Amino acid sequence: MRDSAGIPGGTDAAGGTEKPPSGRSRRRLLRWIGLGAVLLVLLGAATGWWVYSKLDGNISEDTSAAAELRRYDKERPAHLAGGAQNILLIGSDSRSGAGNSRYGQDGGTQRSDTTILLHLPADRKSATAVSIPRDLMARVPACLKQDGTRTTEQFAQFNWAFEWGGAACTIRTVEALTGIRIDHHMLLDFSGFKKMVDAIGGVEVCLKRPVDDVEAKLKLPAGRQTLQGEQALGFVRARYSLGNGSDTERMERQQLFLGSLVKKVQSNGVLLNPARLYPLLDAATSSVTTDPGLASLRGLYELVRGVRDIPTDQIKFLTVPREPYAANPNRDELREPGASQLFQRLRADQPLTIAPPAPVPAAVPAADTDPESAGGAAGEASEDGSTAAPRTDRPGTAEPSAPVPTFTGTTAGVADCR
């Protein structure tokens, strides 16, 4: 005889023999189990569909920019490298919208406080992010304004393009400047930036000196620390309390911050942690405005899937080679031939090398040097912001072939303390 658990041969509570369950009872039990399993599957599917629909519905589509770009499609550069993608990332300094008014009055206009050209090669084994200075002098085409009127083409400060004609005007200005076709664009404002940083639990930075910047609303002690959204925004915006007060130094700091952010997002603590991953996706999708090609969760997923496995030392950051504008030293102009070399290689989807600035010799005053002309260890520095490192076609041969230019910059794999 077996123990009593409703098993044939067992005993009931009264000590008698318990009858085995009938075939009808077993069938009823199996039906209930099957129904419960179906309900769990449906519940999971409904939850998944709700999450997908919510995230997909968060994304704002920039239809006005798309229409304006179609109007000038024949004037835009052609695609030269199949499979490669060029994405323009625009950080708006608009004070309108929820959470942005505390950074100043809304004057009814906005400028691109940060503009980065992100190049993704066809093989997706690297990524290159090129900062475009807001003070760079450039040819801004005739653009459609929000009130329906059009500006005239003029030579002006780069970030005026966004103020005059939004993303479409900025894209056309970048394309005219570089000859590179922009495939997609993404806009992010102050509030969206903070939400994304908070969603991943902050980003680590290291400060050599304490910071107290009233304008950027930033007060931090010296040392290594993790910045949350509000602090992170102040860190990338601060101009006068960190470094030498130049926009050049601020762009370098933004690049270092983005490198730290990339490392944090690629870590298992975010990508494999649903408690962190969903808030990040929710913050990202609700904070960006994109072109129609990216304005869906599927579109963004395809983009992220192609770059998520890129090693951090192959995610490169640099600024376009430039120098003080001859007519106004408070503005910039392209430094040639370094700028043309950079644009040509990106257009053709050719690799480029990044090296940190060469250390300033003790005998040369710091004021007489320009970090843009530093070439690092890869070759002899030129005055155009790049170096030409000789290549050889065969090992052991001294005859050089086409040189590969080396540009001053950094990578996401570099930990720096600024």
pLDDT tens readout for residues 215-268: 777 888 888 889 999 999 988 887 766 655 567 778 888 888 888 888 888 877
Residues 229 and 94 in one domain: yes
Residues 111 and 34 in one domain: no
Residues 51 and 138 in one domain: no
The more confident residue out of 404 and 406 is 406
**Percent of the chain at pLDDT above 70?**
70
**Average pLDDT score over residue span 47-61:** 73
Asked if residue 16 has pLDDT above 60, the reply is no
Which run of H or of E encompasses 128?
A: strand 127-131
Residues 111 and 222 in one domain: yes
Residues 80 and 141 in one domain: yes
User: Following DSSP, what letter does each residue of 15-65 receive, concatenated?
Assistant: SSBPPPPPHHHHHHHHHHHHHHHHHHHHHHHHHHHHHHHHHHHHPEE-HHH
Residues 52 and 72 in one domain: no
**Average pLDDT score over residue span 84-91:** 94
> Does 150 reside within a domain?
yes
Domain count across the chain:
2
pLDDT at 413: 80
> Does 246 reside within a domain?
yes
pLDDT at 66: 94
pLDDT at 21: 61
CATH number of 84's domain: 3.40.630.190
**Average pLDDT score over residue span 102-109:** 44
Rg (the chain; Cα; Å): 28
* Domain range for 135: 60-334
* Ranges 172-186, 221-235, 376-390, most confident: 172-186
Confidence band, pLDDT 50/70/90 cuts, at residue 318: very high
* DSSP classification of residue 203: E
Tell me the C-alpha distance between 191 and 98, whole Å: 7
Region of residue 179 (phi > 0: left; psi between -120 and 50: alpha; otherwise: beta):
left
Residues 46 and 83 in one domain: no
**Average pLDDT score over residue span 387-403:** 48
Lowest mean pLDDT among 14-18, 24-28, 165-169, 366-370: 366-370
**Average pLDDT score over residue span 35-54:** 59
pLDDT at 359: 66
Tell me the average pLDDT of the chain: 78
**Average pLDDT score over residue span 281-307:** 85
The first and second tokens of residue 138, run together, are 């450039």
Tell me the C-alpha distance between 66 and 52, whole Å: 25
Lowest mean pLDDT among 47-51, 143-147, 245-249: 47-51
User: Following DSSP, what letter does each residue of 320-334 receive, concatenated?
Assistant: --EEEETTEEEEEEE
**Percent of the chain at pLDDT above 90?**
37
Which run of H or of E encompasses 89?
A: strand 85-92
> Does 190 reside within a domain?
yes
**Average pLDDT score over residue span 383-410:** 58
Those residues with Cβ within 8 angstroms of residue 67's Cβ, 6 or more apart along the chain or in another chain: none
The more confident residue out of 372 and 130 is 130
* Ranges 57-61, 124-128, 384-388, most confident: 124-128
Confidence band, pLDDT 50/70/90 cuts, at residue 416: low
pLDDT at 300: 83
The first and second tokens of residue 331, run together, are 């503005």
pLDDT at 30: 67
> Does 389 reside within a domain?
no
Residues 317 and 190 in one domain: yes
| 258: number of Cβ within 10 Å | 21
Residues 73 and 126 in one domain: yes
Residue where one domain finishes, among candidates 58, 74, 101: 58
Residues 51 and 144 in one domain: no
Tell me the C-alpha distance between 297 and 281, whole Å: 9
pTM: 0.77
Residue where one domain finishes, among candidates 306, 334, 362: 334
CB contact at 8 A, 227 and 253: no
Those residues with Cβ within 8 angstroms of residue 255's Cβ, 6 or more apart along the chain or in another chain: 129, 131, 317, 318, 319, 409, 410
> Does 418 reside within a domain?
no
> Does 354 reside within a domain?
no
CB contact at 8 A, 389 and 403: yes
> Does 384 reside within a domain?
no
**SS3 of 399, please?**
coil
Asked if residue 178 has pLDDT above 90, the reply is yes
Owner of token pair 């072939």: 401
Residues 36 and 125 in one domain: no
Phi/psi at 135 (nearest 5 deg)? -90, 5
Residues 178 and 52 in one domain: no
Lowest mean pLDDT among 74-83, 293-302, 373-382: 373-382
Asked if residue 418 has pLDDT above 80, the reply is no
Residue 338 C-alpha from the chain's centroid: 24
pLDDT at 367: 43
The first and second tokens of residue 2, run together, are 């077996």
CB contact at 8 A, 320 and 339: yes
* Ranges 81-85, 104-108, 250-254, most confident: 81-85
Those residues with Cβ within 8 angstroms of residue 313's Cβ, 6 or more apart along the chain or in another chain: 411, 412, 413, 414
CA angle 364, 369, 374 (to 5 degrees): 110
Tell me the C-alpha distance between 261 and 76, whole Å: 33
Residue where one domain finishes, among candidates 319, 334, 349: 334
Q: State which amino acid sits at residue 183.
A: D
Asked if residue 375 has pLDDT above 50, the reply is no
Q: What is the per-residue pLDDT across 190-200, written as a single tens digit (0 to 9) for each?
A: 888 899 899 88
> Does 390 reside within a domain?
no
